[in-house]
Amino acid sequence: MTLRVLVPWQRLVDALQIPGIEPILWHINDDPEDAPEAEVLVTERPSNPERRTRVARIKGLQHVHLLSIGYEWVLEHLPQHATLTNSRGAVEDATAEHCLALILASLRELPQALEQQREQRWERIWTSSLHGSTVLLLGAGGVGSAIAERLAPFKPAQVITVASKSRTLDDGTVVHGIDAIEALLPQADVVIVALPHTARTEKLVNAEFLSQLRDGALLANIGRGPIVDAEALLAELDRGRLRAALDVTDPEPLPSGHPLWTAPNCVVTPHMAGDTGEFLKLVSELAVRQIRGMLAGDEPFNIVADRS
């Protein structure tokens, strides 16, 4: 029996030229036609939300492997019998690196410096810094842990980690439960959102949340856009009270003319945290290993067990 596998990139077609596997080039977002029949779909998250329903129309689909960690978008379109895996272990480093880039660009006023460069205007800018700041990190999973690791060399005053449940990590890090967040917010100079999008986290960062942050605090979101109430954030940005650095937004893609594009003290990147050459290499290797294992009859790894 031949395992028919839909893949989005030619490099995966080339890597899967293996007896027993028929790789088929098909991109969920870009191909004009629905997918041909296949047992396995390897896919990234479509930038066009309307394309997500294509998963449910793939005949014979038995397994979906995601080229990302996030999986919430595919759940309602996944056939009930199909298994689901993600690319945990291949994405975290690139995402954490981009998170630090966003934070540093905002704190060190790089957008203003770039504007001065374009005007050929030499004028020193006094800035804030990670050094000496109190950072509130929302998320203790793979991405959150990778961010915490990268924060340490910048010598923040402290990094306070919050997740769904309180616990102590193997390295001794104390993780506060989400119910403690109200008391922690007023201490934060920087808040990093590295949470998944769930019913519990949707609009977690709302007007009340933001009102408890000190003047000049920075909100960085590399989790999911719907976790932040965009209207509430815009109100704070327009007042000049808070700053934001966003790789994810709600809506997404962010449409032309949306006020977040031009909001003061707001840096926006187009959901590109994982888009590096090294990520592409790692995530491709992981996908090939997953498909080879399935052909051999091995149990898939990185199974997404929580399908709620």
Positions marked catalytic:
224, 252, 271
Neighbours of 120 (CB within 10 A): 6
Phi-psi sector, 189: left (phi>0), alpha (psi -120 to 50), beta: alpha
Q: Which two tokens stand for residue 245?
A: 């650095």
Tell the residue number behind the tokens 């769930």, with chain if given.
198
**Measured distance CA(22)–CA(4) in Å, rounded:** 5
Q: Enumerate residues 6+ apart whose C-beta is below 8 A from 49.
A: 73
Angstrom distances, CA of residue 98 to CA of 93, 222, 239: 9, 9, 27
Do the beta carbons of residue 25 and residue 13 sit within 8 Å?
A: yes
CB 36 within 8 A of CB 24: yes
Among 296, 288, 266, which Cα is nearest to 105's? 266
> What is the distance between the alpha carbons of residues 279 and 254, in angstroms, rounded to a whole number?
24
